[in-house]
Structure 1
């Protein structure tokens, strides 16, 4: 009987094993995860779960019984020690497990502050997994002082939760503006204003020199010489692909585990999907850190294990929830040279990214119609006249049909 082993029990791993079974795969399936709980949603960790609005059982992607009912061997709380691609085996403690196909869905790991600048002090947290959030949650008490290092979406989402719970929030971003790596100045301005209206102090263009405290963090000194007192610190300075296991096995790495259009790595019978991979896209290679990509790429790999021979065609989209604002992003804005603003009322706005005459992406704040139409246009290769987008009287759906 054919054996498939999936290493990494996040969104991609869970999607892969479910797709295999739902597509009629009748061989053995083993899903191995380092965490002691079944696969769960990560996006709500820094929002609804941290707020106390979502219970643990609602985080789970599927009930634990699903795996037994579908004859999926769920191995939680285990770390794989090694992969032997020649022998087609995985070493798990004292066990050596054979595979016919292996799927790496190892995800990503957060960047941490070096110990030399206080990154190992008690009270310094990242927001990546359930244990991280469970550890920091008791500190979210009204009046507590939190320093957030990094002005990307993770840092801003954590700031929003902290502010809503009555904490005193200071966010430090080393770049000239928050969201500089991922969004236009217009989007940065929108979210800066939003957070400041909720009492968050945002410091841009200044970095962290070092954290202060003996044993436990008590504050920080910034690169401009100023000092901040803090009861705890949240670090949101990006993530990187989890490649150590693949690299040790001799699998080719290129900004992640390098896969072809169908999800194959450089090693025979080894596949990869999700945050950990870089894959072909529009003549180049990209790595996408998103739930939709994890699901869709993993499902494509599952079908290809069963012989479908299908290329994965990414349709990038992302989202972020902050206060009562839902940001939806369609497409990739890389290479944009113009941003068009569309505002239909006081509560919603969208920013449309163009490169020349080509529509690349859209950031939509409480504007689901703008997001939906923009995303469909991008996927269809349509680029409407920017003047029409800017005009609030334009019927977007009519543009889509044109």
Structure 2
């Protein structure tokens, strides 16, 4: 156990940072715990921002990791609206923005997350153009969607990734008209491939969403400072009362870069390079959540995962490693999505070009099935259950097993998933 007089500093007051602080106390650490965040809201979870809270089915109070009194009750020094601007590794100190205060640390966790990838085209500064990352973003967008629904207005979404599709579902729930512009030939093509991308296209088209594939947005036109239309690379004009830009996220690694920590390559996924215990190239500094590109023993390579479960699990793992415990962070990547009456969970990692076939078990037409991504040698690298529940554990066990599976048995719903894992 690290000494009682040690100071644990956590930069990034999101889910990762909050769960790390919680774990330090749960593991018996009674030294100083400092949690610093540049936002002014208490640590919150991000999935509701594009799901329940945005759609109006969850209250604002439900998004927070802990109630506001938890931090003082557990002697966690919570510094909100306090960006960290520099790390002095030699002195083991953090320099804060604004007044330039300096805080010392013995062990440091970087959990600075990611930010929306900006779109550099004319018109992005107009009123009615939205990004979605923070709680304040979701609050503004929710109010906009409510107004669009009442007034039969149109939302143009730039990018058919998870954020774009979840916002599309929320917008349609309010009654807004929705057009999605996507340069690939299907939604979610980079995440799921064209086979399942086409499935999600049909889902949204059945709910009245219009797609415009194979083009990019080149300009957002405005009038009197407000959005009027979005123009695409094929010369078309799409009327819009609001625009959401959802073209991916960028890991916030400026602090790590300034400190001279090793960074992962672009091919590895970018971010901060960490080992299986989430330790960086500096033995006193750890990284977790969106920015961490960790050696994953299951896949035998570095992975950077931008999903809720990685934040939920990575913070506690890093906290235990900071305390000197032996940690092997080997979680199978997991995420979920809710769109209309469809719920799905995805486990694993199927990179573009990293699989040979998609095997479907169940009825995709009824939107009740499991899809498996399988390599040429039969190894299942990922599985996605759609409106089929309580199967995450066997799917993850199948991914972990590395076993070759007959595609016919994989597709056969009469063969229990557990039987596919057995020798």
**TM exceeding 0.5:** yes
CA distance in 1 between counterparts of 2:363 and 2:243 reads 38
Partner of 2:345: 328
Per mean C-alpha deviation after superposition, the further-off stretch among 283-292 and 141-150 is 283-292
Corresponding residue SS for 2:189: coil
**Displacement of 1:268:** 3.9
Q: Does 2:219 correspond to 1:204?
A: no
Partner of 2:267: none
Q: Does 2:229 correspond to 1:219?
A: yes
Note the alpha carbon deviations across 1:329-364, whole angstroms, 9 max, x for none: 111112001111111583401211110211111122
Quickly say closer, same or farther: Cα 1:372–1:284, change in 2 above 3 A: closer
Residue number among 401, 409, 417 corresponding to 1:380 in the alignment: 401
**Displacement of 1:189:** 1.6
Q: Does 2:309 correspond to 1:292?
A: yes
CA distance in 1 between counterparts of 2:422 and 2:61 reads 42
Partner of 1:271: 286
CA distance in 1 between counterparts of 2:241 and 2:367 reads 35
Partner of 1:179: 188
Quickly say closer, same or farther: Cα 1:260–1:398, change in 2 above 3 A: closer
Q: Does 2:139 correspond to 1:124?
A: no
Corresponding residue SS for 1:218: strand
Partner of 1:99: 105
Per mean C-alpha deviation after superposition, the further-off stretch among 341-350 and 255-264 is 341-350
Per mean C-alpha deviation after superposition, the further-off stretch among 266-275 and 18-27 is 266-275
| TM-score of the aligned structures, taking structure 1 as reference length | 0.96
Partners of 2:382 and 2:399 within 8 A in 1? yes
Note the alpha carbon deviations across 1:6-39, whole angstroms, 9 max, x for none: 0001111011111100000111001001111111
Partner of 1:340: 359
1:1-400 correspondence to structure 2 within 5 Å: 1-92=5-96, 93-114=99-120, 116-140=121-145, 141=147, 142=149, 143-214=152-223, 215-254=225-264, 255-281=270-296, 282-334=299-351, 335-343=354-362, 346-356=366-376, 357-400=378-421
**Displacement of 1:55:** 1.5
Partners of 1:241 and 1:256 within 8 A in 2? yes
Which structure 2 residue ranges, 5 or more long, are not aligned?
A: 265-269
CA distance in 2 between counterparts of 1:396 and 1:279 reads 29
Partners of 2:185 and 2:194 within 8 A in 1? no
**Displacement of 1:179:** 0.8
Quickly say closer, same or farther: Cα 1:372–1:383, change in 2 above 3 A: farther
Per mean C-alpha deviation after superposition, the further-off stretch among 47-56 and 170-179 is 47-56
Partners of 1:186 and 1:351 within 8 A in 2? no
Per mean C-alpha deviation after superposition, the further-off stretch among 103-112 and 311-320 is 311-320
**Displacement of 1:51:** 1.9
RMSD: 1.5
CA distance in 2 between counterparts of 1:60 and 1:209 reads 37
Per mean C-alpha deviation after superposition, the further-off stretch among 293-302 and 372-381 is 372-381
CA distance in 1 between counterparts of 2:125 and 2:323 reads 45
**Displacement of 1:397:** 3.6
**Displacement of 1:296:** 1.8
Quickly say closer, same or farther: Cα 1:263–1:289, change in 2 above 3 A: same
Corresponding residue SS for 1:181: helix
Corresponding residue SS for 2:215: coil
**Displacement of 1:320:** 0.8
Quickly say closer, same or farther: Cα 1:390–1:210, change in 2 above 3 A: same
**Displacement of 1:382:** 3.3
CA distance in 2 between counterparts of 1:194 and 1:176 reads 15
CA distance in 2 between counterparts of 1:370 and 1:391 reads 15
Corresponding residue SS for 1:319: strand
Partners of 1:331 and 1:361 within 8 A in 2? yes
